[in-house]
Structure 1
Amino acid sequence: MSPIERIRRYQDELTAWRRDFHAHPETGFEEHRTSALVAERLEAMGIEVHRGIGRTGVVGILRNGRGNRAIGLRADMDALEMPEANDFAHKSTNPGKMHGCGHDGHTTMLLGAARYLAETKNFEGTVHFIFQPAEEGQGGAQAMVADGLFERFPCDSVYGLHNRPGMPVGHYGIRAGAMMAGCGFFDLHIHGKGGHGARPESTVDPVVCGAAIVSAFQSIIGRNVAPNDTGVVSVTGFTAGTAYNVIPETVSLRGTVRAFRTETMALIEARMRALAGSIATGFGATAELDFREVTVPVVNGVEQTALIADAAAAMVGEAHVDRARIPAMGSEDFSYMLAERPGAYILVGNGEGAAGGCEVHNPAYDFNDAAIPYGAGILAAVVEKELAGHDR
């Protein structure tokens, strides 16, 4: 019996857990109820529990046999700061907060894998169940790593997953190398000289300067990044004056940058600084750029990618495993764990159409409970495959 088939035996209970998490969303570093429930359920499975890792993170430890290798399995727990538009019974009860990315499902999948492994113990070694807070741009993975995650809970490899709307339930997607982009956020403040809109010659107009900088930023990918590389520069905010007849003193821009290589991210930042500074000088203004790394790229190990893809194919068939998934410009802070230990990050089909096709970060999104056994199953299967009853 495959892990998927066995986990289906208690899917109703897992579904109830998932919907309870969905109804009580908690955002980054505020996952107190979620963490407490996770710890309580792990302990009920006979799993050793450690709380407060990276503030609100939880790590469970399951050992079996005499194997000396250890695997980390990670799920994120936090919700988003956004309202929910659904009207089903398990909709959010916390106004302005919503599980709009499926972390309620990821947490449940890891709990399902933990139950399966605690019951079957078809492995030799140690499994660390890593329940991470604050994935949504608040540095939860970094907080756990800084709190000694891999010193306190040594792992030879680490695995994570994410649901993928539009991919059929029972399908998986993965690739070796860069799987998701690194992310940077930026704020640019332009200082000019304000004045009357009818007398622009007496001003240094930061609006015109800002518009020129926005346009120039769009040249970076096309003219500075190699054609066989890629990246994104998006200005997503432009804040200027408030009166029709007043040229403002300052303008503020904000936005995001994405790239699959840290070297490309550094190149983009350098070009942004050079362009903003020189263009502002040309207009007689000044520009200050605050550029912040949010995540590094998600880079899957070759060996670990093959191993988890093989485990998936053994359960659902090779035709249902995309081993050359197109990398995504979205970002994921699991990258900081992969920067510390080799591992892989796999996508799990959330379904198509009304059942699971709504994109994440949408107020109408809901995780598809039919995907639970497949996520839990692949996490369990990779443990059984990598810790297959002998030391390596």
Structure 2
Amino acid sequence: MITMTTLTETKLINIRRQLHKIPELALHETETHALLMKIIGDLDQTYLTIKQLPNLPTAILVRVSGSSPKRTIGYRTDIDALPVTESTGLSFASENVGVMHACGHDVHMAVALGVLSYFSEHQPTDNLIFFFQPAEESENGGKLAYEQGAFTDDWRPDEFYGLHDNPDLPAGAIGCRMGTLFAGTTEVNVDFEGQGGHAAYPQDANDMVVAAAAFISQVQTIISRSIDPIEGGVITLGKLEAGTIRNVIAGHAHIEGTIRGLTQTMIERIDERLKDVAAGIARSFNAQVNVTLNQGGYLPVENNPDLTKRFITYMKETPTIHFVETEPAMTGEDFGYLLSKIPGTMFWLGVEDESQLHSATLTPKESGIEPGVSAITGFIENRMNA
């Protein structure tokens, strides 16, 4: 069992509550950045070096110098929030109207600070890199940081770890699995261009409501007839805009949706089939159909086999840790991009709540923070002794 020092459980819970009050959207985490910098600056600086990115100003990297390093171990936490109006009734509820830590990133940050606090006072054997990442929920902050050279030279981890809280697991439990933990996601935008006209003269128009309806129906067959049912995938078309009034035929329609798959190969297969369907609709309806697909940094979170096996073995064999082997989830996470560049493992931290992630009533159990810090710190110590 690792004993926390500077940042005790009580202090970490208080920090989590401070962060919960000031949620900020992707690339606008200025108050959050300032509070994190204050907390990190108050730690023992003997082994610490802080790095910031001029073109990603809310990001923070902290390097902990090892005593006799054989490797550099990275740990990432996300810091942004969601455009959700909080309705928890908590005394420390969001003070920023319409924005909430509805995905638990405040818990993520508190755990990361607890781990960093420990190693600021107990010099690690290996070098450690802590990455406080903006823009996970949108704008793919991990990809932005990587492309801006954040992880070069002494700042490049040999392996990377990160967690996501999970309301379906008991508070403090650690969940993980071999293979893919989270799906990759692609944003879908489809525009239909035809010819508007009077409802009484359909022969003189080209109705894009009908074309869009046909497209939606055919897209549903991609998963059921073009994808291996053992592998699975999801297409959701969540938004449709067309027309202005009941007696005018719409000459334009716009659809927005999302594709999710557990492997990059699966996502690319779905992408191609969707484009095929769009081309068929364009020909069938003598219309112009434009498809825009944007995946950005939201690749599948595919855990490295060797590192994940080591991680799971440690968690299973440590008596003080409640380990749960979990199923893959169709939720997206931009840590997948970093894991496509640097081998590593993502895992769950249980926070036991009836509300789900992205809910306005999400209330993670804070009793999960200390066990999370202890489990992660213990694993890193074990990894350094390997």
Into which bin does the TM-score normalised by the smaller protein fall? over 0.9
Q: Verify: 1:301 aligned to 2:298, yes or no.
A: no
State the match for 1:382 in structure 2: 379
State the match for 1:290 in structure 2: 292
Residue correspondence of structure 1 range 133-172 to structure 2 within 5 A:
133-152=134-153, 153-172=155-174
State the match for 2:89 in structure 1: 87
Q: CA deviation at 1:198?
A: 2.4
Residue correspondence of structure 1 range 239-250 to structure 2 within 5 A:
239-250=241-252
Alignment partner of 1:272 out of 257, 271, 274: 274
8 Å Cα contact 1:127/1:383 also seen in 2: no
Q: Which amino acid aligns with 1:120?
A: H
8 Å Cα contact 2:7/2:117 also seen in 1: no
Q: Which amino acid aligns with 1:310?
A: T
Q: Verify: 1:330 aligned to 2:313, yes or no.
A: no
Q: CA deviation at 1:316?
A: 4.6
State the match for 1:349 in structure 2: 350
Count of matched residue positions in the alignment of Structure 1 and Structure 2: 380
TM-score in terms of structure 1 length: 0.93
Q: CA deviation at 1:238?
A: 0.7
State the match for 2:186 in structure 1: 184
Secondary structure at the counterpart of residue 238 of structure 1: strand
Query: 1 CA distance for matches of 2:150 and 2:354?
Result: 35
State the match for 2:206 in structure 1: 204
Q: Verify: 1:49 aligned to 2:50, yes or no.
A: yes
State the match for 2:356 in structure 1: 359
Query: 2 CA distance for matches of 1:158 and 1:315?
Result: 21
Q: CA deviation at 1:365?
A: 1.1
State the match for 2:197 in structure 1: 195
Q: Which amino acid aligns with 2:342?
A: R
Mark the CA change 1:316 to 1:148 in structure 2 (over 3 Å): closer, same or farther.
farther
Q: Structure 2: any 5+ residue segments left out of the alignment?
A: none
Identity %: 29
8 Å Cα contact 1:213/1:276 also seen in 2: yes
Q: Which amino acid aligns with 2:346?
A: Y
Deviates more, 1:91-100 or 1:196-205: 196-205
State the match for 2:238 in structure 1: 236
Query: 1 CA distance for matches of 2:39 and 2:57?
Result: 19
Secondary structure at the counterpart of residue 369 of structure 2: helix
Query: 2 CA distance for matches of 1:65 and 1:7?
Result: 20
Q: CA deviation at 1:172?
A: 1.7
Q: Verify: 1:257 aligned to 2:254, yes or no.
A: no
8 Å Cα contact 1:348/1:374 also seen in 2: no
State the match for 1:26 in structure 2: 24
8 Å Cα contact 2:50/2:60 also seen in 1: yes
8 Å Cα contact 2:53/2:150 also seen in 1: no
Q: CA deviation at 1:315?
A: 4.0
8 Å Cα contact 2:4/2:114 also seen in 1: no
Q: CA deviation at 1:52?
A: 3.0
Q: Which amino acid aligns with 2:33?
A: S
